[in-house]
Amino acid sequence: MLFAGAGSFAATVTAEFRINENSRITGAKLIRRTPTPEGVTEEVHPGKVDGSRVTFTDLPADEAGWYDMKLTMQMLYGDEGVVEGWNPRVPASDYEQEQPLSDAAIRKIQDKIADLYKDAFPDVVQVLSISGNIQNAAVLVFHLRTRPFTTAGFNKMDWIFRVDRMQWRDPNEETWTMAKQAGSFSLLYDRQYKQLYPEIRWMFAEQLGGIVLKDADETRDLGTIALPDPPYGFHACTASGNIIEPVTLKGKLPEPEE
């Protein structure tokens, strides 16, 4: 695995977005994520928003890490939401011709994740997205704690939520195991007052993630990207902009309080 050096600061990333006519982009960031022996570090680079176009300049360029884009949006009736990129890329398999991740493999990985969190802290666990090949898989996992918890005192008013990017591997095609040192890390960890939690709209988009800049003078135009409005709750969408239905592995999302 490569680790980050100083990098050169001159690269540029641009993108045009096709969004709902009643929505607008209010902010844009690129999060540079770099693997290190201690974990994945983050470095935030703000961008310029001009209508439906965003531009990022003076970016470090090397192959040690990658960029995930994060957009804030305002929608109809003033609702606010977030669209955040995530990196679905995994190592190639050992096959000369790549073999896809099968439905059976997806079910095995989901079963193992469910078992992993059976007696753990979160009350709700969902798989938001999963992709990869016959030997490697990237999984986006959402956790939610709704029961009271103890931290600096007894807390029964907040809910804790978290989204992890997990990497699983099955090099011998015998059993899937989590690759803790090769791409498993947290993308989001926060809490919200439980009465305000139903207002959250957060969507993860693979087409905004895994952006690698190799040359200091590189200008990367991501083209025109179609994005739906992020729905209420936590979701992911496909590269073509279709919202993925989460797969619940533990618990049940609570009904909004009247």
The string of pLDDT tens digits covering residues 102-137 is 999 999 999 999 999 999 999 999 999 999 999 999
End-to-end alpha-carbon separation of the chain, Å? 51
Indicate the SS3 state at residue 86: coil
Q: Hey, which residues does 129 pair with through a beta bridge?
A: 140
- The CA-based diameter of the chain, rounded to the nearest angstrom, is 56
Q: For residue 249, give the H/E element and its range.
A: strand 247-250
Alpha carbon distance 115, 177 (integer Å): 12
3-state SS track over 10-32: EEEEEEEEECCCCCEEEEEEEEE
Please tell me the distance from the alpha carbon of residue 199 to that of residue 226, in angstroms, as a whole number: 23
- DSSP calls for 181-204: TSS-EEEEEEEEETTTGGG-EEEE
User: pLDDT: is 140 or 158 the higher one?
Assistant: 140
Supply the mean pLDDT for the chain.
Answer: 91
Mean pLDDT across the stretch 87-113?
Answer: 94
Q: What average pLDDT score do residues 230-241 get? A: 96
> CA–CA separation, 45 vs 31, rounded Å?
6
Write out pLDDT tens, residues 187-228.
999 999 989 999 999 999 999 999 999 888 789 999 999 999
Predicted confidence (pLDDT) per residue in 10-42, tens digit:
899 999 999 999 999 999 999 999 988 888 999
Within 13 Å of residue 44, how many CA atoms lie on the same side as its CB?
7
Q: Residue 152 pLDDT more than 60?
A: no
